[in-house]
Amino acid sequence: ASTLGAAAAQSGRYFGTAIAAGRLGDSAYTTIAGREFDMVTAENEMKIDATEPNRGQFTFTSGDRVYNWAVQNGKRVRGHTLAWHSQQPGWMQSLSGSSLRQAMIDHINGVMGHYKGKIYAWDVVNEAYADGNSGGRRDSNLQRTGNDWIEVAFRTARAADPAAKLCYNDYNIDNWSWAKTQGVYNMVRDFKARGVPIDCVGLQSHFNSNSPYPGNYRTTLQSFAALGVDVQITELDIQGGSATTYANVVNDCLAVPRCAGISVWGVRDSDSWLGAGAAPLLFDGNGNKKAAYTAVLNAL
Ligand code: XIL
């Protein structure tokens, strides 16, 4: 195969990228993205602040721009993200308690209703666990509504769009020996045991010197999968862009039958949220394929 998407499809997987609506007018960008990837995540356009800027007033202009570009170019779409402590609109930041809980539920219903039947998988809850050694939840306004907020989000999501896979998505859950990984693992195990609807765990997999690609990454993927969920690598970028590390990530995914696919968090280095200097992606700022690209294509 000569593209990432086609190469991943050889094993029934997908290869995706984050797409920014503001870059869809850049033909160098859309040429690469259109050719190489078969799954799309809106980088910001389906987040809470973008889709519900005022309470009860939904706007899907930018989200639909990304969605329509993807579908018109034959790609599937991951939805990102419905319940998160970050990128909340001001009105939500100032809510608490039962009114915030209700706003979360209404938000999930509003956004999933708009995209009902059209989304491969939703990141229902993003980044709910704390960094460091606690293995517990992150403090946030959502967490302060009660520890059951995550399961309420998933139950609401299942009812809103039964066709979408429902994912829990987080960063720094790649290293099997980290407390945060174990915290999320225990939550997913508990959800499966109690019948809380969850279909997938998204590992963002932003790798850098503080959270490097771990040698036990495959163990982590296998362990989550053994709970009966898919695993998806949802926001892959590797500071410095090591070709070897990229190949390791691909090989680890391919070794786990329930690793459904990989998405990188941007097209060219110049599109990365980390800045072009981090050189974390598969294409350079001129749109040239990097060594990491070739390593990924050959590994798939
Ligand atoms: C980032 C976007 O790439 C930036 O454009 C934005 O300013 C901040 O959010 N984890 C996530 C993503 O789940 O939504 C984040 O995306 C990167 C970290």
pLDDT value for 172: 98
pLDDT tens digits for range 45-96: 999 999 999 999 999 999 999 999 999 999 999 999 999 999 999 999 999 9
**CB-neighbour burial class of residue 86 (10 A; exposed 0-12, middle 13-18, buried 19+):** exposed
The ipTM is 0.99
d(CA 249, CA 196): 29
pLDDT band of 127, cuts 50, 70, 90: very high
CA proximity to 41, closest of 9, 22, 63: 63
Q: What is the pLDDT of residue 35?
A: 99
Closest atom of ligand 1 to 273 CA is 3
Mean pLDDT, to the nearest integer, of 174-191?
Answer: 99
Query: DSSP string of 169-197?
Result: EESS---TTSHHHHHHHHHHHHHHHHT--
Mean pLDDT within 154-165: 99
Q: Is the CB of 172 under 6 A from ligand 1?
A: no
Q: Is 204 in the pocket of ligand 1 (CB under 6 A)?
A: yes
Instruction: Indicate whether residue 170 lines ligand 1 (CB < 6 A).
Output: no
Q: Is 211 in the pocket of ligand 1 (CB under 6 A)?
A: no
The pLDDT value given to residue 223: 99
* Cα(282) to centroid(ligand 1), Å: 18
Q: Confirm whether pTM is higher than 0.95.
A: yes
Q: Which of 235, 269, 270, 271 to mutate to test the pocket of ligand 1 (most atoms within 8 A of CB)?
A: 235
What pLDDT does residue 78 have? 99
CA–CA dist 156, 248 (Å, integer)? 36
Q: Which of 43, 127, 151, 235 is catalytic?
A: 235
**Beta bridge mates, 168:** 125, 201
Which mutation among 43, 87, 234, 264 tests ligand 1's pocket best, with the greatest number of atoms within 8 A of CB? 43
Atom of ligand 1 lying closest to residue 123 CA: 13
- Average pLDDT on 136-158 reads 98
Question: What sign results for the dihedral spanned by CA atoms 139, 108, 203, 238?
Answer: negative
* pLDDT score at 141: 98
Question: Hey, what amino acid is at 81?
Answer: T
Q: Report the share of the chain in percent with pLDDT over 70.
A: 100
Q: Is 235 a residue of the active site?
A: yes
Q: Is the CB of 44 under 6 A from ligand 1?
A: yes
Q: For ligand 1, is residue 23 a contact (CB within 6 Å)?
A: no
Distance 43 CA to ligand 1 centre (A): 6
